[in-house]
Amino acid sequence: MKNIYASIITIGDELLIGQVIDTNSAWIAQQLNKIGIAIKNRISIGDDADEIRNTLDFETKNAQVILITGGLGPTNDDITKNVLCDYFGGKMIVDKSALENVKYLFEKIYHKPVSEINLKQAEVPDVCEVILNKRGSAPGMMFQRGGETFISMPGVPYEMQGIMEDVIPLLAKKFKLPSIFHKTILTAGIGESALAEIIKDFEDHLPKEIKLAYLPNYGMVRLRLTTSGFDKTKTENEIKSQFTDLKKLVKDYTVIDEDKNMEEVLGNILLKNKKTISTAESCTGGAIASLISSVPGSSAYFEGSIVSYSYKIKESLLNVKKETLEKYGAVSEETVREMLFGLLDKTKADYGIAVSGIMGPDGGTKENPVGTVWVIVGNKEKQVVQKLKQRFERKKNIEVTSIMALNMMRKFLVNGKN
């Protein structure tokens, strides 16, 4: 038995010039990985017929599955369908199921007349198998050549993901696939190089079939073990054993031994303890609240946020004393403490996070240079406060501060320590 490899081709001039960010290939790769298909290549190309043909020829040398997104719209710049028709030696026909889908969408869902250009969406090469697009008008298309399977889908992420719901079972049925296992630990409070020193001996003695990846991001590092094999039970037991050893080595820095992000971890703690939280944000401008509320079900524990950017809002909404601001300034322990107390009075949440700082590129002083941030977490009875010194550009300073604030709150709830 051998591994099955896939190449992902995203098509569109807008991808090459950065007007649109390619999120499709990352999402597709994640879905294929879950069923045991390894990714050989991911490539973005423009709306050029020769480039599409050449890329298809090249990718089939290394992959058995070729997934293509983009260029299936009804306008003249969408050329993928016609190129594929020519590439596989077919002719264009109207597919009955695709035509019914187009008419249904426009007449019943959009409540608009179906134009001639919209009806062209139902035209497909007669050498493909149509995969109905339940979320849009451009159908997916599957072609076979020799041992390779080619699947073309719309570039709109929402539509592509709907088609992939049907594609995944088709691929899982068509190929004999290995089991792929990932085990992930989320760490915080330690850098990538320091972690590498701690687990150097462990890494040196890992079995060759198990790979270790370091995934750093905003004050955190994910450690991920990955392996695959056709004997599912044996493969799973091997990685579980290694994962147990890894967890012991990094236990002092572990946030969670699952592939979850910081906001999910904090949310689960609050949910489990039936507690609520709110935020008072100055320099982060609501970024912390955005992370918390991005988790499905966060309404069960997130009361809301007060973005108190100005002195006026700090005073009027959070009851920060004017004399506190005048004496200590907005970027001070005294101010964030009063922000927290005012927040808890206003929102009635069980816990709160308050931040105030200078994110740059301007606004720093000798006492408080750019990157200075005060963060406080806690309730009315107990608080933990920390002065951060960020060193990045504005956007990253905000992102790193937001994650660090969430981690401070997590640690406060878990063990009362900063």
pLDDT tens digits for range 263-276: 999 999 999 999 99
Nearest of 262, 272, 271 to residue 411 by alpha carbon? 262
Say if residue 286's pLDDT is above 80: yes
The model's confidence at residue 108, banded by pLDDT at 50, 70 and 90, is: confident
Residue finishing a domain among 256, 289, 307: 256
Q: Which residues share a beta bridge with 187?
A: 221, 254
> Same structural domain for residues 281 and 322?
yes
SS3 305: strand
pLDDT in tens, 130-159: 999 999 999 999 999 988 999 999 999 999
SS3 411: helix
For the chain, the domain total comes to 3
> Same structural domain for residues 399 and 302?
yes
| pTM of the entire predicted model | 0.81
> Same structural domain for residues 244 and 283?
no
- Residues 341-357, mean pLDDT to the nearest whole number: 98
> Same structural domain for residues 250 and 398?
no
- Residues 39-59, mean pLDDT to the nearest whole number: 96
Instruction: Give long-range contacts, CB 8 A cutoff, 24+ apart: 242-247.
Output: 242/183, 242/206, 242/207, 242/210, 243/183, 243/185, 245/202, 246/183, 246/185, 246/199, 246/202, 247/185
pLDDT of amino acid 1: 65
pLDDT of amino acid 189: 87
Q: Tokens in use for 54?
A: 């050449």
> Same structural domain for residues 64 and 161?
yes
The model's confidence at residue 74, banded by pLDDT at 50, 70 and 90, is: confident
pLDDT of amino acid 99: 95
> Same structural domain for residues 52 and 170?
yes
Query: Which range, 74-78, 117-121, 248-252, is most confident?
Result: 248-252
pLDDT of amino acid 95: 95
The model's confidence at residue 110, banded by pLDDT at 50, 70 and 90, is: confident
pLDDT in tens, 179-238: 999 999 999 989 999 999 999 999 999 999 999 999 998 879 999 999 999 999 999 999
Say if residue 418's pLDDT is above 60: no
> Same structural domain for residues 303 and 383?
yes
Picking from 98-107, 158-167, 282-291, 375-384, which range would have the lowest pLDDT averaged per residue?
A: 98-107
- Residues 157-180, mean pLDDT to the nearest whole number: 95
> Same structural domain for residues 211 and 356?
no
Q: Are strands 277-281 and 302-307 parallel, antiparallel or unpaired?
A: parallel
CATH number of domain containing 218: 3.30.70.2860
> Same structural domain for residues 266 and 401?
yes
Cβ–Cβ under 8 Å, residues 336 and 350: no
Nearest of 260, 295, 242, 239 to residue 186 by alpha carbon? 260
**pLDDT, averaged across the chain:** 95
pLDDT of amino acid 416: 64
Written as one string, the DSSP assignment of 56-75 is HHHHTTT-SEEEEES--SSS
**How far apart (Å, rounded) are the C-alpha atoms in residues 69 and 22?**
10
* Structural domain that includes position 386: 262-415
Residue finishing a domain among 135, 154, 174: 174
pLDDT of amino acid 14: 93
The model's confidence at residue 61, banded by pLDDT at 50, 70 and 90, is: very high
Say if residue 9's pLDDT is above 50: yes
> Same structural domain for residues 34 and 148?
yes
pLDDT of amino acid 219: 79
- Residues 161-184, mean pLDDT to the nearest whole number: 95
Higher pLDDT, 366 or 310: 310
**How far apart (Å, rounded) are the C-alpha atoms in residues 192 and 219?**
10
Vertex 375: Cα angle to 262 and 214 (nearest 5): 35
> Same structural domain for residues 42 and 191?
no
Residue finishing a domain among 239, 256, 273: 256
> Same structural domain for residues 281 and 244?
no
The rounded percent of the chain whose pLDDT value lies above 70 is: 99
Say if residue 417's pLDDT is above 80: no
pLDDT of amino acid 118: 87
Say if residue 361's pLDDT is above 80: yes
Phi-psi category of residue 153: left, alpha or beta, with phi > 0 → left and psi -120 to 50 → alpha: beta
Residue 217 to residues 85, 236, 396, 403, Cα–Cα distance (Å): 43, 27, 10, 10
CATH number of domain containing 56: 3.40.980.10
